[in-house]
Every structure is written in structure tokens, then in C-alpha cells.
Structure 1
Amino acid sequence: MRPLWQIPRDCLFWLLVSVFVSIGLHLEHLPPWVALSGIVAALWQIQLYRERWHQPGRLLKWSLAGACGAGLLLHYGRMTGLEPMVALLFTGYILKLLEIHHRRDALVLLYLSYLIIILQSLFSSTIVASVLVLVALLPVTAALVAMHGATDNSRPTTALRTGLAMILQAIPLMLVMFIVMPRIGSLWAVPQPNSATTGVSDSMSPGDMTQLGRNGAIAFRVEFDGPIPEQNKLYWRGLVFSSFDGRRWQQQAPQSYRDGRFLQWSNQALEAWDKDIIRRGQPLSYRVTLEATNSHWLFALSTPLSPSSSVALSRDFRLVNNEPVVSKLLYPVRSWLDNQLQAESLPGWRHQIELALPAGYNPKTRAIAKQWRAETPDTAAFINRLLGLYNQEFIYTLRPPALGRHTVDEFLWGTKKGFCEFYASSFVFFMRAAGIPARVVVGYQGGERHPSENYLIVRQYDAHAWAEVWIEGRGWLRVDPTAAVAPERIELSFADLFAEQDEFLSESPFSLEHLRHINWLNNLRLKLDSLDYAWAKWVLGYDNIQNDLLLDLLGAIKPQRIALLLLFAGGIALLPVFIMLYLSREKNTRDELDRLFLQYCARLDNIGLPREPGEGPRDFAQRIGQQAPSLTAQVDALTQLYESARYSEVQGDDLKRFKAALKAFKPSRKAFLHGA
């Protein structure tokens, strides 16, 4: 096998370009030191090719492998999950650069490049990401072409053109297979950590929501059948927290609900607790396109119902998917904003759940809540009194101070600075301390309206926490203490309120959201988003599109007709290949001089003097002179004219003379026999 320094230069060039492209595609979710290591390894390989440096020894390579493994473990804290495993594969890919001794090593690296490029699709399926993946395949294919056919004198653009032609030839067949072949589910799920994919987790403590002001990633998009509701009505309910341990709010265990099954599926009979929901007026109809969260919970406006068989309504009136959302999910929803939830009564066991507080926490708040309750027995007035406290002295900020053991006491009577989770948590604690059932709800609030399309963009920084209190005769009511402190957060949007602060989008420094005040850039951002949303809808709704298309093409979806369509479509897809082969054959056909020479040979063959396979013109002429001396002069003259026409720089005159001499050359079998 050839060592690396004998591999063509343009092959090495495209191989290294492939490495840099692979690093660029995964730069966002790789530890910075991994990407930097890849660049260093590529530069080392360049120096090896130039014979400036030596191959690293076995001890060094094993040391680097151990250091990379330890670095990944320290960075992620685990080696399970999508990102750690991709990073582990990437480190092996990079280290392979340091041990390319043979051509097969370079081939392994190129095959790994294909795999790593395709792995980008696990992190993003946007139209931009899909185009980037296709473009990234080009240098890898060019390197593969150069590996099998290039020389040191060939140019890199030659392999690039051939690689591009191969990809273009493959695209029609790829499209045919995409249209015709049925889509099946993944053979395995790809787990991802919640913190990496969604702003709403299954618990909440002070400071959790604050971090989301730095993240501008899209959480979901919503397309309405009618007008989009007002901003202050857009509360996207995700999780309900009824359990509090003194610092962290969590969901109540489903088995603690005693009045039927916790989940009600659309294709099953209604649960007994469904009668507790009073829905009034016309529902809002909309479709949510949710980004991957690796969680079961979905987001919707109040009192939602979904016709999807994979979506259920939970006992605490939110939507749940039947499996974790590991990729984009499109689900239809109807919501009744005018509603009542459990207005008639709350069972004793539910009172116990929604009033529970841990012992030994926040004694000052407990005492003041009881005092206020004695002074203000009316529940609505009591709630308004607490909201008035928030309105007078508190500050809504992305930079709240840290809190100690008694989080509610320190916040309400000390710092008085916090984000939405500070207000929701303290409000619910205060209500419970006063004997009023209450709970925390988390999700998203508001969203950005697309000016030319009827859909809403909800981002991670729109994550929000609010409260629900239960009042006899009225049921569960939403109370948002944040609205008492910063009403503009609810009436306008998070971005409008915090756009000028340094913490806003600090985790997304390259986001076009930073430039939304520049009209043309903001319009470009929205145009790109609408294009990406259209792509997502097409991909997610492709099953129905595929079914309709096949019905139009086939009349009925039967295996025989699909097979015929595959054969026909495959032939159409391969038509460019056949055309290129035909054109290539035409280029290789003989020129006029060769055709004339074959006529000359045919005339001699007709009189019993065939040309032997592999016999050159001059050898053929000498043999003719021996077997038919009477033809010697004519044959020698024709041979000289042919060689002159074939090898002279100016072929025109010699070709004419050869053509004229051939026209006069009419050998006969009699001359051959006489000569013999």
C-alpha cells in the first residue's frame, strides 16, 4: 500500500478540506478544544506531507487518546447521550489524522467524514442545515475521486468537478427514492439532555428561568386558522408544579391523583374528571411545530384538546405526547380561552396536595400570610393585596441576587429583585401559607408575530412561570405576579423589554435577533424564518403529501404499481448517466483518418490479406510486400501517407493525399495470386 507522501497532492488537499468542513458543521455543539485539536492535527498532517515533522509515536498517540477521553468526561460529566457520543467519535476522527500511513487509512478517514457530516442532521433539520450537509459532501467526494484516479500533476479542480458531477447524478435518484419509498420510524431513539434542547425542565428553582434570557433558540412555532390572539392571552401551558421542597418545585406524582387515569387519550372514552372542565364559546384552532425537547410534555393554550392519537390531555389540564419528542413534532390543537376548571369543589386530598409546604422554611412569610388572611378574608381581595405589594417595591430583572435557605423570605422581604420564577414561587408559597390552594405553572408567554405570515415564533427566552389559585365557585384561575411588576413583559414581549440589556441573547452572540432594530436585516431574518418554517411543515407533513402524490400517479397504491413506478423513475433518474456515456462514446469514436485506414485494411482483407491483431501499419505493409510483391509500391506509399497524416502537426494536406491515393487503390485477388 502506498504511504501518505505518495498519495496525490490534490487528494490530500480535499481530505484536509473535508476535515475542516466537518469541524465547521459541528462547531456549535463541540467543546472548543475538540475543534482546535482538529485544526492542529490537520496542520500536523500538512507538515508530515512536507516532510518537516515526523509521525507521532505510539506513546504520544495513546496519551492524546486518554487526554481526549478525560477531557470529554470533564466537559460533559458523562459519556452517555447524543452530544458526548458525537464528540467521542469526533475525537477519534481527529486522532486518525495522526496515523495515516497508507492509502486505506485515508479511505477510512473519508468514510468517517461522510458519517460525521450526516450526523449533523441529528442536531438540526432546517433547510439551511440540509443544504450545508449537501455542500459538505462535495469535498469528501472530491477527495474520494482523487484517491482513486488523481496523480501528482493533476489539479484539485479536476477532482472537484468530477465529484460535483457524481453528486448531481445521484440527486435525481435520491429524490425518486425520497418520493416513492415509505417512511419508517427510527430504529432507535437519540436521547439528548434537556438542558441542551429546551428551556423548560421538569423542575424549577430560583435562577432557572433567568438563564433563558440568554438563549434565542426557537422553542416552537404556532400557525392559527384565524387571527392570532392578543399578546396577554398567549400563555403556553407546559408543566404544573404542585410539590415544593423549600427550594425546588416539581410535578406531583401521577399516582397521587385518585379520580381516574391521569391521561385521557383522544381515541378513548372520557375520564370522569373531564366533567370538571367547562369550555365556553368557539375554540381557537392552531398547529404547533415543536422543536426537539427529549421530553413528553407539549405546549398549548389553556384547556387544550388535540385530535392526534399520540397526544393526551393530563389530569392537570396540559398536553402530553406518548413518547419523548426527539425531533420536530407537528400537532394540531383546539383551545377554549373562556373556561372554568374544577369550579364546583376540590376534593380533600387535592386540598392537601395544593396546600402542602415543607416544614422549617420561610417562617416570616408564613406568619405574614396568616396575618394578612385574618385581615383580608376575601380571597380575591387577598390576592390583589399581594399583587399590590409586588407592584410597589419590586424589580423585574435578569440579574437577580442569589438566595439562601429561606428563598421566599429573602426575596419578599429582602432583595425584592427577581425573574418570573421568583414571583411565581413566592406567590404560590404565600397563598398556601394563607390556606389558599395554589400551584406553579411553567411554559412560555407571548411570542413574535410574523408580519407577513399568520404564525407565531416562540423562543426560549419567552419561557415563563406563573401561578394558579383555586377559588370556590370559580375554579382554577391564572394569576401572573410578573404582570404586577412588569406589565410590559406580558403586553409586549420579552425581547422588547430586555433587548437593551447585556444579558439578552448572551448565549447566542451571532443571532440576527441582535439586529432586529435594523429594518432590512430584520426583514431578512423573518424571510429566512418563514422559509425554514415552510421547509419544516413540508417535511413533517410529508406522509400525507406522499400519499396524495402516489394516488395521483398510480390511481391506487399497490405493490406492483409502486414497483413499476420505481423502475420507470429509476430509468428517468439514470437517463443523465446514459446520455453522458453516449456522449463519452462519441468522443472516443475514430476520426476520419482512422476510418480511411480501416477501409484500406478492408480492401486488402477482401483479397485474402487480413491485418493481424496488434499489427502496426508498417509491419502490415512489409508483410504485404512479401505476400503480394505487385502491391508493394502502392502499399508503401499509402503507409507513408498515413503515418505522415497521423503524426504531422498539420494534417489537412496529408489527409487529402491519403484519401486520393486510397480512392485509386483497388487491389484484386488476381494480383495477389500472381504475386504469390
Structure 2
Amino acid sequence: MRPSSPQAIDQAAVPWLLAVALATASPHGEHLPPWLSVLFAAALLWRLWLWWQRQPLPPRWLLALLVLAALAGIAWQYRSLLGRDSGVAMLVMFMALKPLEMKTRRDAMVVVMLGFFLLLTHYFYSQSIPTGLWLLASCTLLTAALIRLHGGSQPPAAIIRQAGLLLLQALPFMLILYLLFPRVSGPLWGLPQDAHAGRSGLSNEMAPGSISNLILSGAIAFRSHFASGIPEKSDLYWRGPVLDAYDGLTWRASTPAAGRARMVPVVEARGTPYSYSSIIEAHGQRWLLALDVATSLPAGAVQAPTLEVLAREPLRARSRFVFTSSVDYHANRNETAAALQQALALPPTINPRARALADQWKSRPPARIADAVLSLFRNEDFHYTLRPPLLGADAVDEFLFGTRRGFCEHYASAFVFLLRAAGVPARVVAGYQGGEVNPVDGYLIVRQSDAHAWAEVWLAGEGWVRYDPTAAVAPSRIEQGIVAALPQDEPLPAIVGLDADWLRQLRYRWEAANNAWNQWVLGYNPQRQRDILSRFGMANPDWQGMSAALAVLSGVALLLVTVWTLPRRRRADPAQRAWQRYCKALARRGVTRAAWEGPLAFARRVAVERPQLAALTSDAARCYAALRYGRGDSEQLLVLQECVHRLPARWRNSP
């Protein structure tokens, strides 16, 4: 027997498949090189024109040349055909060119399966709510294309409705798999080559302009939820890297000696402790941005001798941590000689005017020297700005005695330089200051625009004491935030400068929804899965128990869906209900219609067995046949319903 030839694709199904290609691949345009996006658009438009004009598809040799050229372009663009970005680019290229050879149903199935696969790749770049909604809509479209491909011509609305019903039937299985499928640690959609990209903006070095550039981003750095009250805004200092090495332009975090690296800092907490949990966005560094200073650490974290809290590995995925902190404390009152020596180091010969100024204060106590620098900033004509002039080799001199315009890193850097030049140990601390409470979910949101730099001074008997020179120049920055501190003509991220109340409320709700999505969907890690399952009676859930529960619940869900989708008795239309009532009334008189008996044949038999009802039954049967099998109208439905009421009362069956 000769094998059957492949079934040709229905001409009217082609637009469905082109819509599938567009929906599943077009969001990648943000990540693709422009030439590949142009190739994708041109290929789909070409295929649409060929379909519209009913022209033959291009020859195979031309498609082969296009594939080879596109592969060469991808290899040149990404320097490889392996990896996330190049792999996604090849999938998009295949989706663009496959419709140009799509003739049979088998080719169409390749396009649909390629579309399903492309949907997964979007999570490599974004796991946001809009991405999830777009992928759900695209999945509905893919299912609709399958229905159109195999179910023939139908109204588009009916196809979409059936696709939505199929996805609704899959919903119980999705929920069961979400809850019970064993979770893995780490980001599900991360790839090794992408893991080292920091995203928060803070780094372990600070030069003039580094933080002022970061201030223009309204992205969220982390969220914190306090178990009881939130500290005053002036106490919200979130410690990041401590920068104690200076080369004249850039402050960096020094590498401590092996012995000092193993030292545990001594923190004497005073006042009210604050317990809170923080959800920190991935930033590619180890610091965990705890409220200054942490007294209780998350599992696996350590506290460096310079008081910042460090994770074992760089933070490459959004993670949740629980801390206890104190905002009133003594830290390292007995500091090591090596740490104090590092906190005094300065490059020789630079900034002579600043050194001369510091020499005038050397006879004073260290705390008085720090106060003198603050008074200088407070009383002289210094300005807080995101757009300071460029500085040269003697940056501190030019800032203090020339420009007098700067952002927090300028003031922190100049403050620490003057203290060190006067013989007082001091260092720069980078991190975040402040935050905004979202009234919808109660989380304190700290953005990149809250990035800040301040200073710490070591005082005998007190340890490391925080000094914020920015507060001396622009106290509103600490009390009210960055918007209140900057002049009106300064640039700000749009999300920070929103003044309209309705926009602010909309942002609060959207960010609360994103927070819930991040915690309960993207953040559904092994620990959270164990917590949830323990509430349902699984005291010590392991993979064996979860697999058994998964099998049982999936079987139950399958049974319920099967019962729901079994052929059910259709609800009769008005004509059928009226005809059935008429036939039931005749059955009471001894004339029963057989299941196979048509209305007209039944009317003829009634005329023989009950002549007095011949005319009435003939009218009812004629109207029902027209309504059921022909083109009956509303008048015939009224006649049929009147026939039921015209039956003698003792023969009529009640509804």
C-alpha cells in the first residue's frame, strides 16, 4: 500500500499560524539585534503577502541561503551559536523562516510546537506579571491555532472560547503541580553565563558621580517588612559596602588581612531592637543591605569586621532574609590597630589646602574635629546637586575651596579626607538611606534613588560612630527624601517625582501586586513550599510524600475533569420542550411516540388512532419539523406552544 501524501494545510488557517509566530517571538525584539528583528518582520510580511495573493512559496534553495546567512549573522553578533542569547536568536530566526515553507499540516504543527517552546524562553529575560499575562494570552492563541488546524473552519470567537475552556480545564493540574512539584534551590530561569551581572548599581568602589548616576533609577533595590514599628526615617540607614581605601579619586573596599577577616565585630545594642524581613533584588554582590547595624543574621550569613552583613555567595536571584537590627549601638569599641591604621591612610602630596585646613584642627578632640567639618558644610556656601562640576587631580581641594557643589559622595569623601588628615580614623559607608512605606501591603520600599554615602568615625570609648555630612548641607534629604532635597530643575526618575495622588495610589497597588507575585510565584522556593505544605498536614514533606500527593491529587483532578467533560444531555430549546410536552400528553392517552419516530410520521399515526386530534397533532408536528429541521420562525413557535394548550385538559401533561 502506498503511504498517504501529507495533508495540505487549509488556506484559511495560515493567518492563525502567522499570528502565533508574531505573538510568541515579537516580545524578544527588545533583546535581539535590530537586523534580526527586521528579518523577522520582513519574513512574516512576505508570507502574509504570498497568502493574500495566493502565490507559490519561495524555493527551498533560497530559504537555505537565508538560514545560512542568518546563522552566520548570529554567530558574528554573539561570537557563538551556544548560550542563552544566541539560542533565542536562532529560535526566532526559525520561527520567521519556517512559515515560508509551510505547505502541509505537519509544517504547521512544527510552527505551533516552536511557538510553545518560544514561550518558555521569555522567562529568561523577565518574570513579571505583564510577561505572565502575555504568555497566557499567547498560549490561548496557540491552542486556538491547533483547534483551527484540526477542527476545520469555525467562527473565530468559537475557536477562542474553546481554547479558553481547554486551558480552564488544565487549571487544576497547574495548581497541583505548582504546589507539590519538588522545588529546586536557586533561580529556575537563570543561566550560568548571566549569573554574574549585577543589577542594583552599588559596587565596592565609589568615585564622584557613581551614586549620583544611580539616583536617576527608580528601580526597587529591596523591600522590608517590620514586625512592629518602623524606625524614624532619619534612622533608616541600610549598610552596604564599607570603603576604606582611597587613591585620591576613588574609594574602595580594602581586602582585610587573613586574621582580621575572621574576626567577629563586637556590637553592643542599645534601645529598641527591630525585627524585619527584607526581599532583596539580585545585585551580583554579597552584601545584604541590613538596617544599620544588624544584631541577628539570616542563616548562612556572616558579619564582616566592618559591620556589613555578607551572604556566602553573590546574590544572583531575588531572595528573602530575616534580620534583627539596632539603630542605637556601640560597635568595635576595641578596634584592631590594623583597622585603625587603614582608616588613617591617605595618598601623599594630594589636596594640600585640605591638609592645611585639617592641620589647624589636630589639637582638638576627634569629636570636635568632626563637628568642625560639619559646621564648615553647614555654614559655608555649599550646595547639594546631582550635576556638580568635574573635578581634577586635587578633587577634595577643588570641591572644598572652589566648586562647593556636589552630591553625597562628594561630601562623604571630603569629610573622611579631612578627618584622616587631622589624624582621626574615618571611612566611607555606601548603601541606602530612607524608604517609602507602601500603604497597600505595609512594605517599606527602598529604591535605587535612595542610594547614599555617609561616613563613620572611630572615637575612643564609643567605637564607630555614624556621621552624615549630607545632612549638614541638605537635612531635607534625610528627613523627607531625595525629591525634597534637590532643586526643582534637577533631573529625577519619573516614578520618584510623581505628585498626583491617583498616580501614587496606582503605583502603590501595582507594586504591592508585584511584591505578592514575587513572593508567592517567583519566590516559591523549597523553604516556602515546606511551610505551605506543613499547613496542610504534611509535617515533614519530602520528595516521596510530595510525589505521592501529586499522583493522588492529579488522579482526582483528572476524574473530576472527565466527569465534567463527559457528554451531557443537552438542554432542549423552546421548540423541543413544547413538542415533548405535547407528546407526553398524548402518551397519557395511549399514543406513545417511539424514539425513532419523526414528527410527521407520528402525526399520521395519531390521525389513525385518535382522529379527533388529527388536525391539532398535524399542526404541532408541522411547526416542530419546520423549527427543528427547516427555517421555522417565531410565529410557528407560538403555534406549537398554543397546540399544547389546546389539548383537552384531561389529556394535557403538566409542565
TM class by shorter chain equals 0.7 to 0.9
Counterpart secondary structure, 2:215: helix
- Kindly tell me the number of residue pairs found equivalent between the two proteins: 573
2:418 to 407, 425, 430: 430
What is the aligned partner in structure 2 of residue 674 from structure 1? none
CA distance in 2, matches of 1:140, 1:302: 51
* Structure 1 residue 343, shift from structure 2 partner: 1.9
1:569 to 553, 565, 573: 553
In the superposition, the TM-score normalised over structure 2's length comes to: 0.76
User: What code does the residue aligned with 1:312 have?
Assistant: V
CA distance in 2, matches of 1:3, 1:95: 25
What is the aligned partner in structure 1 of residue 642 from structure 2? none
Distance 1:278 1:403, change over 3 A: same
Contact 2:88 2:121 in 1 (8 A): no
1:445 to 428, 433, 446: 433
User: What code does the residue aligned with 1:204 have?
Assistant: M
What is the aligned partner in structure 2 of residue 616 from structure 1? none
2:377 to 374, 387, 390: 390
CA distance in 2, matches of 1:70, 1:32: 14
Contact 1:449 1:456 in 2 (8 A): yes
Distance 1:80 1:65, change over 3 A: closer
What is the aligned partner in structure 2 of residue 420 from structure 1? 408
CA distance in 1, matches of 2:91, 2:544: 46
* Structure 1 residue 442, shift from structure 2 partner: 1.0
2:121 to 91, 115, 119: 119
* Structure 1 residue 655, shift from structure 2 partner: 5.5
* Structure 1 residue 113, shift from structure 2 partner: 3.3
What is the aligned partner in structure 1 of residue 274 from structure 2? 284
What is the aligned partner in structure 1 of residue 97 from structure 2? 98
What is the aligned partner in structure 1 of residue 450 from structure 2? 462
CA distance in 2, matches of 1:451, 1:321: 30
Supply the RMSD in Å over aligned alpha carbons. Answer: 3.8
Distance 1:568 1:61, change over 3 A: closer
1:313 to 303, 306, 316: 303
Contact 1:369 1:431 in 2 (8 A): no
Contact 2:295 2:323 in 1 (8 A): yes
CA distance in 2, matches of 1:414, 1:5: 82
Counterpart secondary structure, 1:373: coil
CA distance in 2, matches of 1:155, 1:385: 81
1:529 to 478, 503, 511: 511
What is the aligned partner in structure 1 of residue 246 from structure 2? 244
Distance 1:13 1:499, change over 3 A: farther
Counting only pairs closer than 5 Å after superposition, residues 225-240 of structure 1 correspond to structure 2 as 225-240=227-242
What is the aligned partner in structure 2 of residue 578 from structure 1? 562
Counting only pairs closer than 5 Å after superposition, residues 216-615 of structure 1 correspond to structure 2 as 216-254=218-256, 256=257, 258-259=259-260, 261=262, 273-274=264-265, 276-344=266-334, 346-359=335-348, 362-365=350-353, 367-374=355-362, 377-391=364-378, 392-498=380-486, 500-501=488-489, 503-505=491-493, 511=495, 513=496, 516-539=498-521, 540=523, 543=526, 546-547=529-530, 550-551=533-534, 553-554=536-537, 562=546, 565-583=549-567
Distance 1:138 1:401, change over 3 A: farther
User: What code does the residue aligned with 1:372 have?
Assistant: Q
What is the aligned partner in structure 1 of residue 176 from structure 2? 176
* Structure 1 residue 191, shift from structure 2 partner: 5.1
* Structure 1 residue 523, shift from structure 2 partner: 1.3
* Structure 1 residue 525, shift from structure 2 partner: 1.6
Which stretches in structure 1 are left out of the alignment for 5+ residues? 262-270, 593-641, 662-676
Distance 1:30 1:305, change over 3 A: farther
CA distance in 2, matches of 1:324, 1:458: 20
User: What code does the residue aligned with 1:303 have?
Assistant: V
Deviates more, 1:346-355 or 1:492-501: 492-501
* Structure 1 residue 94, shift from structure 2 partner: 3.6
CA distance in 2, matches of 1:60, 1:544: 49
Distance 1:415 1:328, change over 3 A: same
2:601 to 654, 670, 674: 654
Distance 1:549 1:292, change over 3 A: closer
Counterpart secondary structure, 2:458: strand
CA distance in 1, matches of 2:490, 2:37: 27
Distance 1:563 1:195, change over 3 A: closer
CA distance in 2, matches of 1:179, 1:387: 56
Contact 1:214 1:461 in 2 (8 A): yes
Q: State the Cα deviation string for residues 533-577 of structure 1 (Å, max 9, x = none).
A: 233333446656644554455565577865653344213322454
Distance 1:96 1:469, change over 3 A: same
What is the aligned partner in structure 2 of residue 607 from structure 1? none
Distance 1:341 1:67, change over 3 A: same
* Structure 1 residue 53, shift from structure 2 partner: 9.7
CA distance in 1, matches of 2:478, 2:331: 23
CA distance in 1, matches of 2:304, 2:209: 27
Q: State the Cα deviation string for residues 367-410 of structure 1 (Å, max 9, x = none).
A: 33443334x53322322232233332222222223334443333
Contact 2:440 2:509 in 1 (8 A): no
Q: Percent identity?
A: 33
Contact 2:21 2:95 in 1 (8 A): no
Which stretches in structure 2 are left out of the alignment for 5+ residues? 577-593, 609-655
In the superposition, the TM-score normalised over structure 1's length comes to: 0.74
Contact 2:237 2:431 in 1 (8 A): yes
Counterpart secondary structure, 1:160: helix
Counterpart secondary structure, 1:294: coil
